[in-house]
A and B are shown apart, each in its own frame.
Chain A
């Protein structure tokens, strides 16, 4: 079965410091991986994706993510956090083997950036 795991419910970081939000995946077949962000009382917004190519992918708002096949991880990173980055972050994987129309989401990680 396809799945993603976000091991941290919450990540706290000071403004200006680097941030990492962790995601590991379990898929059969090639992984299509995504990060989304959700601000309070809003739907999810796409941040970035990995489908193929460079292991380091860049996305919106200065975020990037590193695909690591040997560790089955796809961690979200940003070199310098902003208070406005505080939100709920979801990792997701698209099923590329059994049902191409299905996506699986992690449980979410709340990022708190303190001034």
Chain B
């Protein structure tokens, strides 16, 4: 089974702190994604990466950056956390030739910024 893991389930940070969210997948997928999930808004794409060191902005990249130094790991960085970044963050991976063409999701990190 594909496994996508996220470094923390719950995280509490203070305004202005630098925050790192880590995601690791074990199926050699080229594509990895970071979404944020907010009630009534569904999942919104922050950034995605289609290869090592490659990244592309999603729909809401402002205030975030990413890093993909190794194929299995995709990090989301909040350079200076703000209260409006309090949210659930979901990481996903995907391979276009997977049998169901679906994305595989991690369990999520619930981030609270005080």
Contact = CB atoms under 8 A, between A and B. Distances in A.
Interface of A: 6, 9, 32, 34, 36, 41-46, 49, 51, 90, 94, 99-103, 105-108
Contact of A107 (B40, B50, B103): B40
B106 interface: yes
Contacts, number: 62
Contacts of B33: 103
Contacts of B107: 41-43
Contacts of A46: 100, 102-104
B4 interface: yes
Nearest to A46: B102
Given A101-B48, A102-B48, A45 B42 contact: no
Contact of B100 (A43, A49, A101): A49
Contacts of A101: 31, 48, 50, 56, 94, 96
Given A41-B9, A103-B45, 18 more contacts: A32-B101, A34-B101, A36-B105, A41-B107, A41-B110, A43-B106, A44-B105, A45-B105, A46-B104, A49-B102, A51-B101, A101-B48, A105-B35, A105-B42, A105-B44, A107-B40, A107-B42, A108-B42
B12 interface: no
Judged by DSSP, the binding face of B is: strand
Given A42-B108, A43-B4, A100 B96 contact: yes
Interface residues of B, number: 29
Interface of B: 4, 9, 31, 33, 35, 40-45, 48, 50, 56, 58, 90, 92, 94, 96, 100-108, 110
Nearest to A91: B42
Contacts of A9: 40
A81 B21 CA distance: 37
Given A43-B107, A101-B48, A106 B42 contact: yes
11 contacts: A32-B101, A46-B103, A46-B104, A51-B101, A101-B50, A102-B48, A103-B94, A105-B35, A106-B42, A107-B40, A107-B42
